[in-house]
């Protein structure tokens, strides 16, 4: 069956069907992402056209705007100009679904920080609050469900970086959603995007979430005593501690520092720790690019099975996935 679908004002799909040996759906870009997952989970071949094309055709045909007319318009565009549709192929669908899950994960993580901070303030002022406790448990449970959904979608990537102790599926999935190595042509371009080159530090233009995630990875390798990265951290830190405050960027930039009594004194442990952690983070980002760049997307057998029927409510435009 060939189906032409529009995401209607009633927040549901409106279909026009026609007989066909192919299992295909044709839609217009711009629908909510969670609505896209409904079609992906059904296993259809998915074709998408740009809204500008349907808007132009609507003007030519002088059709009024309605959910049914919008679906008919997509059908008419297919008849007149089938080349206007781009197939949203299975590897793209996998990345779409994985990124959507982790977008919700990031949103919940940020919300949890605020809730926990507010809870601390409320408890300090008024005592224990059961509502906040239950809300935090609910959000934490949702995060675990999202991780359960994303694990089958990152099996290959996990197998390639499993040698790094302390880095689990949550961190891997988050960095793949924010800064997948396949989107970059070289390791230097990737490190620049993640904020680990002089160029990115000089322009102050880099993805701060990606950099913070690699810092989290570096911290986890310290906690779990990864034999490579822990040793690297200790070596760099020890070397930094032999330097003086004259080499610190605060001194170079002319900023004040409470710990600096003289430019000739030894650098503080905080400075040494920061430099060492940054070096480890850079090395891990380089390793991720080396191991994951050019990776072939392997679709899990359960890819088209919706997990527990849950719907994720993230509603940004889909166009970014074609860039």
pLDDT of the chain, 323 residues: tens digit per residue: 899 999 988 889 999 998 888 889 999 998 888 888 888 888 889 999 999 999 999 999 999 989 899 999 999 999 999 999 999 988 888 888 888 899 899 999 999 999 999 999 999 999 999 999 999 999 999 999 999 989 988 999 999 999 999 999 999 999 998 999 988 999 999 999 999 999 998 888 999 999 999 999 999 999 999 999 999 999 999 998 888 877 776 777 777 777 777 777 777 888 889 999 999 999 999 999 999 998 875 444 444 333 333 333 332 332 333 33
Which pLDDT tens digit goes with each residue over 16-37?
998 888 889 999 998 888 888 8
Rounded distance between C-alpha atoms, residue 16 and residue 118, angstroms: 49
- Supply the pLDDT for residue 123: 93
- Supply the pLDDT for residue 249: 65
What are the residue boundaries of the structural domains of the chain, listed by start? 2-88, 183-295
**Residue with structure tokens 């029927």?**
309
- Supply the pLDDT for residue 159: 93
- Supply the pLDDT for residue 321: 32
- Supply the pLDDT for residue 316: 34
- Supply the pLDDT for residue 83: 95
The structure's pTM equals 0.74
Q: Residue 87, CB half-sphere, CA atoms under 13 Å: how many?
A: 7
């Amino acid at each position: 069956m060939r189906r032409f679908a529009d995401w209607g004002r009633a927040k549901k799909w409106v279909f026009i069907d026609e007989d066909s040996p192919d299992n295909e759906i044709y839609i217009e870009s711009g629908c909510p992402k969670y609505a896209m997952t409904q079609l992906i989970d059904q296993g259809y071949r998915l074709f998408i056209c740009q809204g500008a094309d349907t808007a132009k055709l609507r003007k030519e045909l002088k059709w009024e705007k309605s959910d049914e007319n919008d679906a008919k318009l997509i059908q008419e565009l297919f008849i007149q100009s089938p080349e206007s549709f781009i197939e949203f192929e299975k590897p793209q669908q996998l990345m779409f679904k994985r990124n959507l899950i982790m977008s919700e994960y990031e949103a919940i993580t940020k919300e949890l920080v605020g809730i926990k901070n507010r809870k601390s303030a409320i408890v300090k002022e008024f005592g224990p609050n059961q509502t906040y406790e239950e809300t935090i448990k609910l959000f934490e449970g949702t995060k675990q469900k999202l991780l359960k959904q994303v694990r089958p979608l990152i099996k290959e990537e996990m197998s390639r970086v499993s040698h790094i102790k302390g880095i689990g599926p949550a961190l891997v999935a988050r960095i793949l959603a924010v800064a997948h190595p396949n989107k970059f042509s070289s390791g230097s371009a990737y490190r620049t995007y993640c904020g680990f080159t002089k160029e990115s530090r000089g322009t102050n233009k880099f993805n701060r979430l990606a950099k913070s995630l690699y810092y989290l990875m570096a911290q986890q390798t310290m906690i779990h005593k990864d034999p490579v990265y822990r040793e690297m951290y200790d070596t760099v830190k020890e070397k930094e501690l032999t330097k003086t405050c004259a080499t610190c960027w605060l001194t170079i930039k002319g900023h004040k520092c409470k710990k600096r009594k003289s430019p000739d004194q030894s650098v503080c442990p905080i400075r040494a720790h920061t430099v060492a952690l940054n070096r480890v983070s850079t090395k891990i980002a380089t390793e991720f690019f080396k191991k994951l760049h050019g990776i072939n997307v392997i679709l899990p057998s359960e890819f088209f099975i919706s997990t527990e029927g849950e719907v994720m409510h993230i509603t940004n435009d889909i166009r970014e996935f074609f860039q």
